[in-house]
């Protein structure tokens, strides 16, 4: 699923899709979690959270992706809500995420689920197409 997510980002933005430094260990409990949505035994979507480097009460959402076959069927909303619940259960008070201007469906999802723009942060802080969002849990 992560390889498919990076391929999708690569098609939208070029390159390998995302140069953000991410290590799989950042998603291991209790400092993070990575979730996969399965439909009929097939992975349909994924996403995770890791503890935000700038504030340990904040979960940074990473690698949200829905297989194109399952888009528009509520998979992404379910994954995002599960990520939020997992982060809340781990004591996080807020979530933040970074997306790009070439991902209108992601932007629409985040806005629909109560996310608001926050100042850009992290690896893409000064990238003109970067959009950051956050939400109190």
From the number of C-beta atoms within 10 Å of its C-beta (0-12, 13-18, 19+), residue 47 rates as buried
Q: What is the DSSP string of 39-106?
A: ETTEEEEEEEEEE-TT-TTEEEEEEEEE-GGGTTTTHHHHHHHHHHHHHHHTT--EEEEEEETT-HHH
Name the domain count of the chain. 1
What is d(CA 66, CA 133) in angstroms, rounded to the nearest whole number?
19
The pair phi, psi for residue 109, each rounded to 5°, is: -60, -50
Contact 78, 39 (CB under 8 A): no
Provide the domain limits for residue 101: 2-136
**CATH assignment at residue 99:** 3.40.630.30
Cα-only R_g, the chain: 14
pLDDT at residue number 123: 87
Which residues lie across from 58 on neighbouring strands?
Answer: 94
What is d(CA 38, CA 95) in angstroms, rounded to the nearest whole number?
24
pLDDT at residue number 19: 78
9-40 tens-digit pLDDT: 889 988 877 778 789 999 999 999 999 999 99
87-134 tens-digit pLDDT: 999 999 999 999 999 999 999 999 999 999 999 998 889 998 999 999
């Amino acid at each position: 699923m992560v390889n498919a997510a990076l391929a999708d980002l690569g098609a939208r933005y070029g390159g390998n899709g995302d140069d953000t430094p991410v290590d799989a260990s950042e998603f291991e409990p209790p400092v993070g979690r990575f979730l996969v949505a399965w439909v009929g035994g097939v992975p349909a979507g994924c996403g995770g959270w890791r503890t935000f480097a700038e504030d340990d009460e904040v979960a940074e959402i990473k690698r949200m992706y829905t297989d194109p076959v399952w888009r528009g069927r509520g998979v992404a909303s379910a994954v995002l809500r599960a990520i939020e619940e997992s982060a809340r259960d781990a004591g996080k008070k807020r979530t933040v995420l970074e997306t790009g201007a070439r991902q209108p469906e992601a932007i629409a999802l985040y806005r629909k689920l109560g996310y608001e723009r926050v100042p850009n942060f992290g690896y893409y802080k000064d990238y003109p197409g970067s959009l950051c969002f956050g939400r109190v849990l």
